[in-house]
Amino acid sequence: MKKKAHIIKMIEAGSIAEELELTPGDELISINGQVIKDAFDYHFLVKNEELVVLIRKPDGEEWELEIVKDYDEDLGIAFEDGLMDECSTCRNKCIFCFIDQMPPGMRDTLYFKDDDARLSFLQGNYVTLTNLSEEEIDRILFYKLSPINISVHTTNKELRKKMLNNRFAGNALDKIQRLKDGGIVMNGQIVLCKGWNDGEELERTLHDLSAFLPEMQSLSVVPVGLTKYRDKLQKLESFTKEDAREVLAIIHRWQQIFVTHYNTRFVYAGDEWYIKADMPIPDEDSYEGYPQLENGVGLIRSMQEEFNQYYEEVVGDLRCKELSIATGVLATPYITKMAEQLKVKFPQIKLHIYTIINHFFGEEITVAGLITGGDLIKQLQDKPLGDCLLLPDVLLRHGETILLDDQTIEDIEKSLQTRIRIVQSDGKSFIDAIIE
């Protein structure tokens, strides 16, 4: 197979690469005489204080650059492909896979399933380890790449084979031990499916994973997301309010066990469990620094705490403006509460808060991150929106301006005849977006 070219996409301002007059379009050939296979090699080699970097310019001219720098100082290069290699695709057919539950006709990239440990290190993706060869584990151990985020789901090997529809899925769990023995930091994830890996199976999984602390530093438990596009897929049931309370009872009991023996709660419930159970979100200390924030664990509490802290610093006034906010079913009560609190200091700001029902994927999907442009347009058409419509940044991926159904922010602005502002999901950004 032909080696993948490592083409430079961007040069960071003020970086070593800029000083050396490297430009987008240049190709990285080698570092210290070693050909770069992927991002593992690159991130390891650039840590050295003395480098000989071979670059090929677009016209074919080659530059050999000698670099002396501080240890861990980066060159300031971003590549066209962050992985710097072909991505390993998923070999599983998980019963809960969200990609299998999407309708046909969407853009090709939305159907791509990755299961690459390198993306886990680089971007925080979760991997099942079924793709991970012994050679690749050796490379992780050699380069000391941490953390690796692992989709565990269950430690019952036979059950894991059934849930992932992969006869090797049970054996993949043995690789966690190799990573632990090599000192690799890990985070775990459990997608809970009713009647499959909940109840006694969840208890078993939490017990078994205790053997991997402290290298496995956190574990999230999130409910399966079920869309309306499940024809010919494994039948799965939604969790009820009572189910959610039972799940939380198990997690809270095990948190106390982990605190007693390991001085950490270790396992954390996704925010959806508390909302579904109609129970209060835990206080900030219960999240121990939010190790699973990107997995929707403690996101609401974090936003509330940031909001309250910044709210105390803000001086109110009588500025007059009219805005609207659209979000998902889960977040609406919390967004509404913060908006009402803000109006105490800014009584002349008029806010319209709209809950967007997910008709595209089905009403059981209640998170803001899966709202589509079509649903926004249809449900906000002819509604008072004011001077600007505020939307959460989770609607978009990696700085793009396109939503899941290929509607762009510009499309939505044109359809609704209003300006849109994308707001980061933190309390300070929320306040700034409203009062700015």
Residue 9 CA to residue 23 CA, distance in Å, equals 8
Residue 358 CA to residue 76 CA, distance in Å, equals 41
Residue 269 CA to residue 45 CA, distance in Å, equals 38
Q: How many residues does the chain have?
A: 436
Structure tokens at 14: 């003020």
427 in Cβ contact with 310 (< 8 Å):
yes
Strand pairing report for 216-223 and 321-327: unpaired
H or E segment to which residue 134 belongs: helix 134-143
What is the pLDDT at residue 173?
Answer: 86
What is the pLDDT at residue 3?
Answer: 63
Residue 407 CA to residue 79 CA, distance in Å, equals 27
- Per-run averaged pLDDT (10 residues), the chain, 436 residues: 78 95 95 89 90 96 95 90 81 94 85 79 85 89 90 97 96 92 96 98 97 97 96 95 98 98 97 96 97 93 97 95 96 96 96 97 94 97 96 84 92 96 94 93
What is the pLDDT at residue 144?
Answer: 87
404 in Cβ contact with 365 (< 8 Å):
no
Q: What is the pLDDT of residues 253-300, one digit of tens each?
A: 999 999 999 999 999 999 999 999 999 999 999 999 999 998 999 999
What is the pLDDT at residue 410?
Answer: 95
Whether cis (ω within 30° of 0) applies to the bond prior to 147 is yes
What is the pLDDT at residue 1?
Answer: 43
Domains of the chain (ranges; CATH) run 6-79 (2.30.42.10), 99-295 (3.80.30.10), 303-435 (3.40.50)
Q: What is the pLDDT of residues 381-394, one digit of tens each?
A: 999 999 999 999 99
All residues at 6 or more sequence positions from 106 whose CB lies less than 8 Å from its CB, including other chains: 404, 405, 406
Structure tokens at 139: 């490379």
Residue 305 CA to residue 294 CA, distance in Å, equals 17
What is the pTM (predicted TM-score) of this model? 0.87
What is the pLDDT at residue 436?
Answer: 82
**Which of 243, 226, 247 has the alpha carbon at shortest distance from 235?**
226
**Which of 73, 48, 54, 52 has the alpha carbon at shortest distance from 6?**
54
Residue 328 CA to residue 343 CA, distance in Å, equals 21
Helix, strand, or coil here: 232? Answer: coil
All residues at 6 or more sequence positions from 287 whose CB lies less than 8 Å from its CB, including other chains: 268, 293, 297, 298, 301, 302
